[in-house]
Amino acid sequence: MDKKSKKMLIIALTLSLITAALVYIYISGIKPEQAPETKYINVYAAARTIPGFTRITASDIEEIKVAEELYTEDMATDKEQVIGKWTLVSILKGEFIRNARLTDDEGLYFSHTIPEGTRAVSMNITEQVNVANLPRPGDHVDVVASFNKEEDVRGDKTVTYPRITKIILQNVKVLALGQDTSLSADKPVEQPMTITLAVRKEDVEKFVYASEFGIIRLALRPVGDDSLINTEGVIRQDVTGIKGIIVTEETDDTGPAGADGAGLE
């Protein structure tokens, strides 16, 4: 290689080194852009799937963080404003609790607890209506009615209805005691003034008649027992086995004129 070629090669290498140095210096001077810091907001989500028309408890929800850009104003951020409210729709596990899906209106909730085909009918609780252990909302009872002897005059005839006790409704769901619709058995039991039952719509008139003109007792059913029985009711003779006595003008103080007379109530 002649001197001229060597000189050109040295110049080329020198320029390459200078260029590389300049590029390095330029790159080193560039500061990488910092990503903007993500801000988070604490909101509440469902810790489990919450059915519709359910009162929310502390165990139903959990606090999570959501990026500020994903936050919307209807997301619940205050725990105290969520607990105790009723869900209007089902909320899936992990789903945000949104204020628009909650209500304070317990009455709205209550109307949705009435089973289809029934009507909510309330009656006062008395010593006759009460049972030994107060049923809870969600329990089932049988309604037993007792009627006094009644005479119905129809023209020149009188129809007599004997005193009778009969199961008139079976497996009736208890919806509420007073204003309490809670299923919890941990709450202290106070004597409520009313009890509300889910009565089949075709039995509402029967139930109201019995509550107005008879004496009602409630028989609490075991959990899971939905069996039904057929009964014609009982009169005094069915209970005691003693037949009534036909009283005639011939009957004296020593006994009936006809001992084999038909039994009456």
pLDDT tens readout for residues 73-126: 899 999 988 998 888 778 899 999 998 888 886 656 667 678 889 999 988 876
Go through 245-259 and write b for each residue having 16 or more CB atoms within 10 A of its CB, e for each that does not.
beeeeeeeeeeeeee
- Pairwise pLDDT comparison (243 vs 115), residue with the higher score: 115
CATH number for the segment(s) 40-108: 3.90.1210.10
Segment 137-174, tens digit of pLDDT: 888 999 999 999 888 888 888 888 889 999 999 999 99
DSSP three-state, residue 84: coil
Judge whether residue 245 has pLDDT over 90. no
User: Taking a C-beta distance cutoff of 8 angstroms, is the pair 175, 135 a contact?
Assistant: no
The β-bridge relationship of strands 61-67 and 40-46 is antiparallel
- Distances in Å between the Cα of 42 and the Cα atoms of 58, 70, 103, 112, 199 are 16, 12, 22, 32, 46
**CA dihedral sign, ordered 24, 27, 29, 31:** negative
Tens-place pLDDT, residues 184-217? 544 445 555 788 899 999 999 999 999 899 999 9
What is the rounded distance in angstroms from the CA atom of residue 216 to the CA atom of residue 250?
40
pTM, entire model: 0.53
Instruction: Give per-residue pLDDT as tens, 231-242.
Output: 989 888 888 888
